[in-house]
Amino acid sequence: MAPVLSAHPQVTAALVLFLSVLSLAAGGKLLVVPVDGSHWLSMREVLDGLRQKGHEIVVVAPEVTLYIKPTKNFVMKMYPVPFTQEEMDESFQAFLQDVLEEGSFLERFLKIYQSMKRFTDLAISSCAHLLYNKELVRYLEESKFDAVLTDPVLLCGQILAEHLSVPSVFFLRGLPCGLDFEATQCPNPPSYVPRVFTEYTDRMNFLQRVKNLIFDIPNFFLCDFVFQPYAKLASEFLQRDVTVPDLLRQASIWLMRLDFALDYPRPLMPNIIVIGGVNCAHKKLPQVGHALFLILALIGFCVYKGGSLYCR
């Protein structure tokens, strides 16, 4: 070994440099741009784990939120927004009610369309106030983050990652309208992949495939008003033409909260990592919980394996 090193001084220098860098790699600096609601509750447990491993975490969030509150575990950077807590709560409750209401496909589509429009307007306004907050953006520029962790269901985090020229990591369950399939170039044929509201599985007869294709048509309208404002905002802020797929394709890693025990298997790209169960509690199922488990299992929310309850 010694003769080899002495004969190749470049190898020796590279090895010494590599070992010295390892000592500095104890923890990274992570910028987190989360999405409020259940998205934040899922992400927060992962951030707690990263914090325990020595990573420095800075969370950027609006002052008006549902669940994102200051905590001693992270550095919280809050920015003002032009709407009140009451407006946020009313919009969120209306959206949940419309999603859970029963009715025909057309009725559900129109109600969800209107609710999403109101909720999207608040999200776009919040994103604009973040991006054009010069003092906060200057702080983020000077902080020299190693990566941005964000949920791309709202694209503000990815726009910020592009501005900072920092690699981005997506943490998500999925994207509306199959945008995650498009951005990652994963197959998404309507003959196999069931669309929202169809309640089909991956096994469909010919008529079901036709209906599945028809149900895919409204997705173009939904994504147009939900995501196109982000493309316009990104183009103005980054000062270059940007599309929604362009933004999504820039992600270095996709952490997908999928579990093939609960979801149908599908082809994935190498930078997509399946982490379904990353924030699931592995607890013994008590006798009094059997009735609740049966209900959850029937709706496909939980599965029971080896005496433990696994939920989405």
Average pLDDT of the segment spanning 68-83: 92
Instruction: Please give the mean pLDDT across all residues of the chain.
Output: 80
The residues of the chain that CATH labels 3.40.50.2000 are 26-279
Mean pLDDT of 30-53: 91
Q: How far apart are CA 17 and CA 65, in angstroms?
A: 45
Residue ranges with strand state E in the chain? 29-33, 56-62, 75-79, 147-150, 168-172, 253-256, 272-274, 283-284, 302-305, 308-311
Give whole-number Cα distances, 133 to 12, 32, 62, 166, 199, in Å: 48, 17, 11, 19, 43
At position 168, the amino acid (one-letter code) is S
Q: Read off the pLDDT of residues 228-260 as tens digits, 9 standing for 90 and up.
A: 899 999 999 999 999 999 999 999 999 998 887
Q: Which pTM was predicted?
A: 0.77
| Superfamily per CATH, domain 26-279 | Glycogen Phosphorylase B; (3.40.50.2000)
